[in-house]
Amino acid sequence: MKKKILEDEAGRKALWERLQFALDGEPDPWFESSQASVDVRQFTPVAVVDDNATQAA
């Protein structure tokens, strides 16, 4: 599939146009997270758990 898309320049351009049309008017979550309703909790660091400490108990 990947090779077919890479070799078909006209088809690749058509897919790009379809993507741009589908995304038209949608907020970019990387630049407008408040408008895109992105849950910012996904960017909160997760605590590292030491497996050795839990097994020793």
Please give the single-letter amino acid code of residue 33. Answer: S
| Angstrom distance (rounded) from CA 38 to CA 11 | 32
Report pTM.
0.45
Residue in the structure block whose two tokens are 């020793």? 56
Residue in the structure block whose two tokens are 């630049």? 31
pLDDT in tens, 13-54: 999 999 999 999 887 767 766 666 777 788 889 888 887 766
- pLDDT for 54: 62
